[in-house]
Amino acid sequence: MDKQNKMAVMPMRKLLYTMAVPLMLSLLIQSLYNIVDSMFVARLSEKALAATSLVYAVQFLMIAIGVGTAVGLNALLSRKIGQKRVDEACRAATTGLILMVATSAVFSLVGIFFSDSLAHAMTTDPELQELCASYMSVNLVFCWGIFIQTYGQRLLQAVGDTVLSMISLIIGAVINIILDPIMIFGLLGCPAMGIRGAAIATVIGQMAGAAAALIFNRVRNPLIHVRIKGYRFVWSDVLAIYQVGLPTIVMQAIGSVMTFSVNAILMGVSSTAVAFFGIYYKLQNFLMMPMNGLGQAAIPVVGYNYGAGNEDRIRKAWKVLIPTGVVFALCGTAVFMLFPKQLLGLFAAGEGMLAIGVPALRIVSATFLCSTVTILCGYFASGLGNGLVNMIGGAIRQLVLLVPGIILLLKMFGISGVWYAFWISETAAVAVSLVMVKREMRRKLTGSTNP
């Protein structure tokens, strides 16, 4: 069974798991080196850790645009391959590369000219402003690695090769983890660069991962190749990419707005609260990475079979996707419920942070089941060419209800009541997402009554 037809004939559970496991590992590793960054930075000071939490909102915006564009490209490529239009898929891949390069250039310019201004907008504390600007400027100016790495990985995923996609990410992550202590603390003859060293280690790892992904596509991708000779820019490709990608970008960007907003609210409490929220968000992202890997595996599977008209396989994908996600969510909830102190201890948490964080992790972890189903609904709908489910679900769970809920509960109950806002937002998001997916299934699949 070759890679060109396995999405049409391989048993669905085996297909999804075969594709998802490398993606899960890839995303776990990617999230791990964000956590490792924070663990090393926490050894510098609590303010340094708070600075990385504040800057994470800007980093998340970059990730949002890169991942959103890649999701749209992935869905388009999968449909083209399912329709046997390989030349059109190659043209779309070339267009996707142009979009990624242009986007990275914009962020680089922002880093060159506006890093200090952004740092001043994040906090009024002069020390935090300096730390934020030092960390953020490096991540922005040299951001092309994360964009090209994401692009190269999605080309491999579109043809079902999630193993090489995983390897390219592992290469970048391992390099980053090795360089972190060397550049932060000044080991092996390297000068100690503190928080700036953490940023430099990150971008070097991203560049290495990008180079690996491009090489793997060049020598191992059987179908999709960037073709400059004879290339013709077609606006319909851009529109098709962003039909799915733009809602995903908006959804991901909502996460950036949410973290910026919540950090601004918590700065009124203490920098310890801000530092804790940054830790929680990275731990939660680490937990959600298997679910994101599962969902990302579903996009090319659903997209290919939608393009090929294999409606029964799409329904089977849904029946495998959701129960698998539920199992992962329950495992994650158990870990957060049972070991909150140990999780925070990884970041040298003091008594003040433990007092805030231990009950908070237990409260929020009760929502992991809802957030998992919401996320998987969004990916499934993206495979059918509808990115709105992803965007609307993300908006409800991360912004529309969450931020006002945090403001209200903080005024009513103080910091201990803030975390119950997640219960409200996640419950509403999963209800809306399930209704929208059912509607999309009825609309796109002949004779479908329920997913």
Mean pLDDT taken over the chain: 88
Is pLDDT above 60 for 153?
yes
> C-alpha distances in angstroms, 10 versus 15, 79, 140, 293?
6, 18, 42, 19
Tokens read off for 339: 């070991």
374 within a domain of the structure (yes/no): yes
| Helices and strands (H, E) in the chain, number of each type | 17, 0
Which of 154-158, 248-252, 409-413 has the weakest average pLDDT?
248-252
For residue 287, give every residue at least 6 positions away whose Cβ sits within 8 Å of its Cβ, in sequence order, or none: 332, 335, 336, 368
Is pLDDT above 80 for 248?
no
Give percent above pLDDT 70 in the chain. Answer: 97
Tokens read off for 148: 């090209």
At 2, the pLDDT band (50, 70, 90 cuts) reads very low
Alpha-carbon Rg for the chain, nearest whole angstrom, is 21
pLDDT tens column, 227-238:
787 788 888 889
3-state secondary structure (DSSP) of residue 386: coil
At 161, the pLDDT band (50, 70, 90 cuts) reads confident
Contact 426, 367 (CB under 8 A): yes
pLDDT tens column, 301-328:
898 888 888 889 999 999 999 999 999 9
Number of compact structural domains in the chain = 1
Q: What is the pLDDT of residue 449?
A: 45
Is pLDDT above 80 for 175?
yes
pLDDT tens column, 370-390:
999 999 999 999 888 888 898
Alpha carbons 34 and 17: distance in angstroms, whole number: 25
Alpha carbons 301 and 17: distance in angstroms, whole number: 11
58 within a domain of the structure (yes/no): yes
User: Mean pLDDT, to the nearest integer, of 177-186?
Assistant: 92
At 5, the pLDDT band (50, 70, 90 cuts) reads low
Torsion of CA 332, 335, 341, 343, to 10 degrees: -60
5 within a domain of the structure (yes/no): no
266 within a domain of the structure (yes/no): yes
Pairwise pLDDT comparison (105 vs 229), residue with the higher score: 105
Length reported for the chain = 451
Q: What is the pLDDT of residue 246?
A: 85
Alpha carbons 437 and 23: distance in angstroms, whole number: 23
Pairwise pLDDT comparison (179 vs 35), residue with the higher score: 179
Is pLDDT above 60 for 146?
yes
Alpha carbons 112 and 142: distance in angstroms, whole number: 10
Range of the domain at 109: 11-442
450 within a domain of the structure (yes/no): no
449 within a domain of the structure (yes/no): no
- In terms of pTM, does the model score above 0.75? no
Contact 97, 132 (CB under 8 A): no
Mark out the alpha helices in 309-401 (DSSP H runs): 311-338, 340-345, 351-365, 368-383, 388-395
Q: What is the pLDDT of residue 149?
A: 92
2 within a domain of the structure (yes/no): no
3-state secondary structure (DSSP) of residue 339: coil
In 3D space, the residue among 268, 283, 271 whose CA is nearest the CA of residue 361 turns out to be 283
Q: What is the pLDDT of residue 447?
A: 54
Alpha carbons 9 and 4: distance in angstroms, whole number: 10
Alpha carbons 264 and 68: distance in angstroms, whole number: 26
DSSP structural state of residue 415: G
The angle subtended at Cα 359 by Cα 33 and Cα 57, nearest 5°, is: 40
In 3D space, the residue among 165, 199, 177 whose CA is nearest the CA of residue 33 turns out to be 177
In 3D space, the residue among 105, 428, 60 whose CA is nearest the CA of residue 249 turns out to be 60
3-state secondary structure (DSSP) of residue 429: helix
